[in-house]
Structure formats: structure tokens, C-alpha cells
């Protein structure tokens, strides 16, 4: 992830199915242990997003399997001011390990270094911070490669001609920055027939993305393709294209495979989904944190698989397993 959709759905049940609350770190059984404890906390980027729900469900299953307590929480929205108080609350409980998807590459580093200095083993899951001294392990998709995959697929759909644009969340988010980099480099180096317009940022607001795509269409009638940096953006782009009567005519590549995106792919509003494997990120996060706590070998960086989903291959079992879930 990745900053993604703000939904009204929640994770149901923590011990039964991970009941997450917006402002507390309460989970299965309350506070964590102390220094040396094998208890774990997970702080996701946006608690109601299916990407993070899928990650949290898999992490909970792995924690149950390993016989350790996992407390799960997440930001109500992709915002430093929302995530920082959650981090501070977790710091007060001194868990043995903390899995976290930081919502900024720099702003949260001091808080994370303080937790790490107190003995908690930190694993960065999905997103990360720029300071390489933070975290015993970093687990994510190869987002730059995902951006290249999106560019190749979009260029093919566009017939390698016309204009294309990237609309994303905001600068300074490790995952989406990497996606834009991969997409831009692939287009510039290998698809000279496509004119790449300046990147637009929607602050993770679908309404803004909808307005931006309509303005872009008015200024560039030859627009043939759009790369949506995340799911919220994809939702807005789809809405904007439908309102402009250009659905299906302007090809759209988006990241992730949330339920609404799968519906949009089926209906032809989206054309390509670059799906990550959030479940694998969650499982590996638990395993690496426990390895660090137990003094065992830890893998410093782990990359998880991705797959390009189209209407043609979406029903194949080896592709369907990458669909995200809205609840455990």
C-alpha cells in the first residue's frame, strides 16, 4: 500500500476476526507485555482498507499459529497526525515487537526510533521510512517493478500512442513514490509514442481525482491512459471518466485488487489491476518480528509477489488468490 481507500467497513472481531477501533490500541486481551515480551502490535496504514484488512487477518492467523498475542490497530485515514497518537499509545505498552506501515517516510521516524531504543523490535510492513537504522526487517512489494508492469500493460492497451497521466496520493509516501518512478521510467525509456503529462496528486480524495481527470480530458482530448497510484485514486478516476462519458475509451491501470476494484474490472471501468500480496506481508511480518525477539536470524528485506490482473485472467485460481478481502 500504500495509502488507500477510506471505508466505512471495519474489521470484525479481534480474537474472532480482528475488531479494530479508531483510537485505541485495544485488541485481543489489552496491553502488551514488557521488555523481552513476545507480544506483538500491528499498526496498519488505514484500518478499513481491504489491503490492510487482508494483511491484518493473515498476521492474526500467523500469530495464533505461533502462539503469541497480536494487538491490531490502524489509522482512520492516511495522516501523520492520526497515526502518531496510535504509535505513542503502543510505545507506552512496550511490546516485544511492532509491525507498522508508516504513513510518511520521515515525520514518524523520531517516534519509531524511541520505541526501538526501548527494546521493541520494529518490522516495517508495506511502507517504510527513509532512515535505514529503523527496523530489523522491511517487507513490501517491489513497487517500482509494479509501476513498470502497469506502464507496459497500459502502453499496450493504448497502442503505444496518445497522452497518459499519473494521478496519485501525495509526495513523500514510499510505496506510491516508487510506483510513479517505475511507471515514468518505463514510459519514457520504452514507449516514445506516448506523451506523459505531469503527475497530479489528489491527497487521497476520490472527488479530487474525479475532478482532475475531467480537467485533464478537457485540456488533452487525446488522453488515452491513466495510472492510478492507489485504490482511492482509482475510484475517483472511474467516477470522473463515467461522468465524462469516456469510460472504456480511456484505459486505466490501477494498483491493488480490492472488492470494488474487482467489480470495476469486471464492468470495464478499470482495465488492469496490479495486485500485491498483503497476506504474505502480514505473515512474514509476524515471523520476522518473532525471530528478532528470539535472537534468531532475521531477513533485512523481503519482497513479496505481485500479479497483473485483467478481465481475461481474473477467474484463474492462481490469480484469484490475490484478490483482497473486506473482512476476515
Task: Encode pLDDT of 104-127 as tens digits.
Answer: 989 999 999 999 999 999 999 999
Query: Is position 11 within any domain?
Result: no
- Structure confidence at residue 10 as a pLDDT band (50, 70, 90): very low
Query: Is position 165 within any domain?
Result: yes
Q: What residue ranges in the chain does DSSP mark as E strands?
A: 40-44, 70-74, 97-100, 121-125, 137-141, 162-168, 194-196, 200-201, 223-228, 251-255, 272-275, 301-304, 307-309
The two beta strands, 251-255 and 223-228, are parallel
Query: Is position 195 within any domain?
Result: yes
Query: Is position 84 within any domain?
Result: no
Query: Is position 25 within any domain?
Result: no
Of 19 and 260, which is predicted with more confidence? 260
Q: What is the mean pLDDT of the chain?
A: 87
Quick count: other Cβ atoms within 10 Å of Cβ 12?
14
Query: Is position 40 within any domain?
Result: no
CB–CB of 2/281 below 8 Å?
A: no
- What's the number of domains the chain is made of? 1
Whether residue 6 is predicted with pLDDT greater than 60 in this model: the reply is: no
Q: Rounded distance, CA 134 to CA 123, Å? A: 9
Query: Is position 302 within any domain?
Result: no
Q: DSSP code of 177?
A: H
CB–CB of 265/311 below 8 Å?
A: yes
Mean pLDDT of 34-52: 85
Q: Which domain holds residue 236?
A: 143-275
Query: Is position 77 within any domain?
Result: no
Of 8 and 224, which is predicted with more confidence? 224
Q: What is the CATH number of the domain that holds 261?
A: 3.40.50.2300
Model pTM above 0.85? no
Of 287 and 310, which is predicted with more confidence? 287
pLDDT tens digits, 80-102: 999 999 999 999 999 999 999 99
Amino acid at each position: 500500500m500504500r495509502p488507500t481507500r477510506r471505508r466505512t467497513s471495519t474489521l470484525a472481531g479481534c480474537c474472532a476476526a480482528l475488531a479494530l477501533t479508531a483510537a485505541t490500541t485495544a485488541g485481543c486481551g489489552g496491553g502488551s507485555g514488557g521488555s523481552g515480551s513476545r507480544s506483538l502490535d500491528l499498526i496498519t496504514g488505514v484500518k478499513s482498507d481491504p489491503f490492510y484488512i487482508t494483511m491484518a487477518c493473515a498476521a492474526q492467523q500467523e500469530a495464533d499459529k505461533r502462539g503469541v498475542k497480536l494487538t491490531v490497530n490502524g489509522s482512520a485515514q492516511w495522516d501523520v497526525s492520526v497515526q502518531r497518537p496510535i504509535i505513542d499509545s503502543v510505545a507506552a505498552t512496550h511490546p516485544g515487537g511492532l509491525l507498522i506501515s508508516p504513513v510518511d517516510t520521515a515525520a514518524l521516524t523520531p517516534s519509531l526510533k524511541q520505541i526501538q531504543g526501548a527494546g521493541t523490535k520494529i518490522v516495517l510492513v508495506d511502507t517504510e521510512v527513509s532512515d535505514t537504522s529503523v527496523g530489523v526487517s522491511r517487507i513490501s512489494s517491489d513497487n517500482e517493478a509494479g509501476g513498470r508492469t502497469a506502464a507496459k500493460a497500459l502502453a499496450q492497451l493504448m497502442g503505444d500512442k496518445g497522452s497518459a497521466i499519473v494521478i496519485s496520493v501525495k509526495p513523500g509516501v514510499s510505496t506510491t513514490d516508487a510506483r510513479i518512478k517505475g511507471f515514468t521510467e518505463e514510459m519514457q525509456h520504452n514507449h516514445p509514442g506516448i506523451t506523459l503529462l505531469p503527475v497530479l496528486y489528489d491527497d487521497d480524495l476520490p472527488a479530487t481525482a474525479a475532478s482532475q481527470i475531467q480537467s485533464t480530458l478537457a485540456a488533452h482530448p487525446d488522453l488515452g491512459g491513466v495510472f492510478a497510484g492507489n485504490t482511492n485514486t482509482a475510484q475517483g478516476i472511474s467516477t470522473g471518466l463515467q461522468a465524462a462519458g469516456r469510460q472504456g475509451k480511456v484505459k486505466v491501470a490501477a494498483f491493488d485488487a480490492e472488492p470494488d476494484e474487482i467489480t470495476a474490472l469486471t464492468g470495464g471501468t478499470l482495465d488492469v489491476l496490479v495486485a500485491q500480496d498483503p497476506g504474505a506481508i502480514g505473515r512474514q511480518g509476524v515471523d520476522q518480528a518473532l525471530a528478532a525477539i528470539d535472537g534468531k536470524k532475521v531477513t533485512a528485506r523481503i519482497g513479496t509477489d505481485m500479479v497483473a490482473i485483467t478481465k481475461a485472467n481474473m477467474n484463474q485460481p492462481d490469480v484469484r488468490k490475490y484478490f483482497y478481502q473486506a473482512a476476515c
